[in-house]
Structure 1
């Protein structure tokens, strides 16, 4: 499992289909993996035209490329997987042989991981018989899944070992005090022009967020992590500089709570993660409970829309982040879209008007720019908030009607 000369250059993504036995294993991996996958970094290139069916609930692993390593390219037999690790991705090539699809794949790891030789480490530890490769069954669709999970677990330990070998007293102390926290991952930051750094990915708050939201549609667990990047200091008797801190969350959680709006506690001189995490988690927990309670405020606002506008045409019934009402002024009919922020009522909804009678040259209904300069006070009750918006739109709809007419005129 090391860089192989047999690794052919990836061909076009419109090449041959995967050999059936290989396709079955890859499809099973995509469908059944329960690894703690993260999707904070959407920088991975779009999926190529895959030649196997994808699971209906979405892809858990990113398949970057599929190609053939044989001259007889009736079947593709190798692919690159982007495997989430430490709030980023590692990219590994899995090399099967279409002429011998019953043989287990070889794996090519990243260029910065020449020291990662899991089979050698297993053999030296006397655990070779525990590897899934020791009893590989090509007709077991879960073989690739077991291999990826095994390699990822070994890679976590490999990175911990690398970080533990760094000659930095502060890092040694951090490792000894926080690595016992379940789910934490550490790694050396790939070399760049910057000084050497070590990254910690620390899971926060063991909460079932779905239970905070009635009727929550989330199928997968939602997570919040703290990314901590420590600069490596090899100088003795120097004051360690503060690490770079950043909160990250799974995308679905942003419907309830935005980590970008959280102000992190300051990192004091001499502080360590074991001291920093308790206050951060307590602060986060309070804000998440408040975010859950704010759903009720947004729901009451949406319900109040019916008093002035009539029953909304559509609304978000779970997180209460949006609603649309139909309005009529004389013969002019238009829609009003409400985008309700998480910070409601401190922040007012953003309105967008959409004509039901005017379209651009592409047949798309004409819409207004976002509007948030109408009268507002977070101290008003929902009925008064809606009434003030209604009064504002009574005049604003005439400006919007003229805006639509001018847009139509310019198209002629």
Structure 2
């Protein structure tokens, strides 16, 4: 299969040529969906078959949407994987007397939003299907958890597909009903950002056993990691006899504090980048929104070097760039520096770069002016080592 096209952009131009009506529906789905769908195209263009993983409880419901290449006006057939053979959404709709409410009952091939409406409908039906399956599990602790937290808006549950592990149930609990984009000036996020707590409960078949602690993991939408990394959060311990309703308040309170700190850190990183201008000159480029990156140009005397196209030795003013990768935990953690030569290239014609550097003098208690001055003093000496590093690299290429 060809590489996937994600929801941030229309279908790739390298994808198989689709009928205009089908292509319009697919592009509308990828452009307007707030969920991170991915689409794969099979190797047989004559049989348009779109696999749309539907993110439910942090797992994917993989459904193949099969169009008829000869009759593109007909609604697609939907085929689910072996783990979801019991999911028969249209049968459930018919039994509930809601068949006329399905978007398939009034499918209009000319409506570009038809595929998106179908996907959203199936997702909602699948969420309800999984809730019914979990509700049928004979486990007292699980029944209690469902009764206490299932009313929380946006929560999802599902059975974990069978593996070598015992039977398990997965919860995805949305945390902190916040508009994170308001914390970042000029934020480019198109979709709402979310943080979820993934909780996996083992199902106990024994009546008198003490329930074991669930497995816990924080998850977030990918874009949010530019502001805040859930991987760095230390989760509160799960105490014996605890339930989700008891666990969530302290977790959310901790997250609020950390996110406020992350937002404030943007200002600290911005002041650091602005302070670079005094000793180094105005940065060549910088991340103006999250302030995670900056690059400055440095000059260090005259020296002899071999240019990358292997012309005779030349003596000119040496120049190199310094790339600053500024961590989210700034100023507790110092920026990582990478030096890049503007004259020395490897055999592929790529400018030579130093290994990452983070062993220079640093204190989070210094003001940004002193931080930058210390880095400048460090680079005054380090550039000599970098010159030698570049010369040695060129020599080794001979």
Which TM-score tier does this pair reach, normalised by the shorter chain?
Answer: 0.7 to 0.9
Aligned length in residues: 375
Once the two structures are superposed, what CA deviation does each residue of 1:292-335 show, in whole Å capped at 9, x if it has no partner? Answer: 01111111111111221122111111111111111111126999
Task: Name the structure 2 match of 1:142.
Answer: 113
Q: CA deviation at 1:268?
A: 0.5
Contact 1:321 1:342 in 2 (8 A): yes
CA contact (8 A) 2:169 2:201 kept: yes
- Matches of 1:248 and 1:43 in 2, distance apart? 33
Q: Tell me: CA distance 1:314–1:274, structure 2 relative to 1, closer, same or farther (3 Å).
A: same
Q: Is the Cα–Cα contact under 8 Å of residues 199 and 217 in structure 2 kept in the other structure?
A: yes
Q: In structure 2, how many angstroms separate the alpha carbons of the residues matched to 1:309 and 1:96?
A: 59
Shift of 1:350: 0.7
CA offset at residue 23 of structure 1? 2.5
Give the RMSD, CA atoms, in angstroms: 6.1
Is 1:307 aligned to 2:278, yes or no?
yes
Question: Following TM superposition, by how much is the alpha carbon of 1:31 offset from its aligned partner in structure 2, in angstroms?
Answer: 2.2
Are residues 44 and 391 of structure 1, via their aligned partners in 2, closer, same or farther at CA, if it must alter by over 3 Å? Answer: farther
Structure 2 Cα separation of the partners of residues 4 and 297 of structure 1: 38
Give the 3-state SS of the residue equivalent to 1:46 in structure 2: coil
8 Å Cα contact 1:349/1:372 also seen in 2: yes
**Local SS of the residue matching 2:187:** coil
- Structure 1 segments of 4 or more deviating over 4 A? 1-16, 35-55, 332-336
Larger displacement relative to structure 2 (119-128 or 28-37): 28-37
Q: Secondary structure at the match of 1:186?
A: strand
CA distance in 2, matches of 1:49, 1:363: 42
Looking at structure 1, the residues matched to 156 and 300 of structure 2 have their Cα atoms a distance apart, in angstroms, of: 59
TM-score by length of 1: 0.81
1:28 is displaced (CA, Å) by 2.2
Moved more, 189-198 or 212-221: 212-221
Change (3 A) 1:182 1:54: closer
Cα drift, residue 223 of structure 1: 0.9
- 1:325-374: CA deviation from partner (whole Å, max 9, x where unpaired): 11111126999911111111111111111111111111111110011111
Please report the TM-score for the alignment, with normalisation by the length of structure 2: 0.84
Q: Give the conservation status (yes or no) of the 8 Å contact 1:199–1:228.
A: yes
Separation in 2, partners of 1:400, 1:222:
42
Cα deviation for residue 257 of structure 1 reads 0.7
Would the alpha carbon gap of residues 297 and 12 (structure 1) be closer, same or farther in structure 2, given more than 3 Å must change?
A: closer
**CA pair 196-32 structure 1, distance change in 2 beyond 3 A:** same
Structure 1: unaligned runs, 5 residues or longer: 56-92
Higher relative contact order (CA 8 A, sep 6+): 1
- 5+ residue gaps, structure 2: 56-63, 308-322
Asked if the contact 1:327–1:333 (Cα under 8 Å) also holds between the matched residues in 2, the reply is no
Q: After the TM superposition, which of the residue ranges 336-345 and 34-43 deviates more from structure 2?
A: 34-43
- The 1:128/1:317 distance shift into structure 2, 3 A limit, reads same
Alignment of 1:362-373 (within 5 A): 362-373=348-359
Using a 3 Å threshold, how does the CA distance of structure 1 residues 45 and 33 change in structure 2: closer, same or farther? farther
Q: Closer, same or farther in 2 for the Cα pair 1:248/1:45, shift >3 Å? A: farther
Report the alpha carbon displacement of residue 5 of structure 1 after superposing the two structures with TM: 28
